[in-house]
Structure 1
């Protein structure tokens, strides 16, 4: 069983660069065809100062902020037991190429179902840009199969 005393734990904040090439890659990966997400000139013509991050890009930042093996060790499970259950996004402001985003992750809840056969770890993640503006937040549900 996952230790419920982990609720409230805050992981070390990590600051990550938002790179133009990575934004293009993510846009292409999700099938985004709007040139605003791949062409800096199209982005500027649309009123953006640089390439904007495509939808769900913050999930990439969340994944980069904590090494998966470290997360598995922290939760005390094996990689083969860990599943990504659900993801929720709230956006407050755009993210652009050239931004530096600080990711703050904390354990919000831990509970089990089916008499402990399934355990759920809920994390809340804040994404803050270089100007101190919270640009997004996510809520991630990890499932551990016992």
Structure 2
């Protein structure tokens, strides 16, 4: 099933996450980050941070905290067996720290096909803000949906 371009502009309910220092340490370890500013408060403060800074790609995980983070794809009729993560980009505006509540708000900004419809691309832009509305980062992800049987 191909993705209908009429879903462009679809906005999703925001996802909130209160940043936890333990979670940041775990994330840094999971991605192989060895810089102690992401795991040791003293090292972070020595480097000029007020606390452990949120590692650069951590913000991608905010939406994964929702009960069913991929339900939006199912709602579009996308079979998750045929989805690939194609691209991720980050534009940072400020550093986030433990104790802050961040909100991720996403919108589908583009849908297009390639290879005669065999591949659909869904572009989702996400704004991450603090409780006061100040910008932390803008994320862009591109998912690739393979449409078996199309274009053969």
Q: Aligning the two structures, in what range does the TM-score lie when normalised by the shorter sequence?
A: over 0.9
User: Which deviates more from structure 2 when the two are superposed, residues 69-78 or residues 103-112?
Assistant: 69-78
CA deviation vs aligned residue, 1:60-92 (integer Å, no higher than 9, x gap): 113335733412212211110111110111001
Residues 93-128 of structure 1 show CA distances to partners (whole Å, capped at 9, x for unaligned) of 001111110000000000111111100000000000
Q: Please state if 1:129 is matched with 2:130.
A: yes
1:50 equivalent in alignment to 2:21: no
Using the TM superposition, give the Cα deviation of residue 3 of structure 1 relative to its aligned residue in structure 2, in angstroms.
1.6
Residue 23 of structure 2 corresponds to which residue in structure 1? Answer: 22
2:63·2:69 contact (CA, 8 Å) conserved in 1? no
TM normalised by structure 1 equals 0.93
SS at match of 1:132: coil
Task: Indicate conservation of the 8 Å contact 1:15/1:100, yes or no.
Answer: yes
Structure 2, gaps ≥5 residues long: 148-152
Alpha carbons of structure 1 residues 66 and 91: separation in structure 2 relative to 1, 3 Å? farther
Moved more, 16-25 or 41-50: 41-50
Q: Which residue pairs with 1:115 in the alignment?
A: 116
Q: 1:144 corresponds to which residue?
A: 145
The equivalent of 1:93 in structure 2 is 94
Taking structure 2 as the reference length, the TM-score comes to 0.89
* Structure 1 unpaired stretches of 5+: none
